[in-house]
Amino acid sequence: MAYTITHFSPETRSRIDAFFNRFGQGMNAYLEARARSAQIEALEAKSDAELARMGLTRDRIVAHVFRDTYWI
């Protein structure tokens, strides 16, 4: 015979919620970084002339991509 517990104490529920909250935040950070790495690669593939037309230099690509996140 199998038993299933469907009721958790508030402390247990809080610990489970905290775990999934941290896990979700980690996934968000990972997905955000992956999306931005594609943008960085696309900009790095451009020629210096193309970057100059955009007002960028190679050493400022990362700062440009993360400009809304970090004050660089």
pLDDT confidence of 4, banded at 50, 70, 90? confident
Is 5 a member of any domain? no
Is the distance from CB of 61 to CB of 40 less than 8 angstroms? yes
Q: For the chain, how many structural domains are there in total?
A: 1
Is 72 a member of any domain? no
Geometric angle at alpha carbon 39, from 37 and 44, rounded to 5°: 95
Placement of tokens 């517990």 in the chain = 5
Domain span including residue 34: 11-65
C-alpha 66/C-alpha 10 separation (Å) is 39
Is 38 a member of any domain? yes
The total number of residues written for the chain in this structure:
72
Is 3 a member of any domain? no
Is 34 a member of any domain? yes
Pick the more confident residue, 55 or 71.
55
Give the pLDDT score at 71: 64
Is 6 a member of any domain? no
Q: Which two tokens stand for residue 39?
A: 């943008």
Percent of the chain residues topping a pLDDT of 90: 38
Is 16 a member of any domain? yes
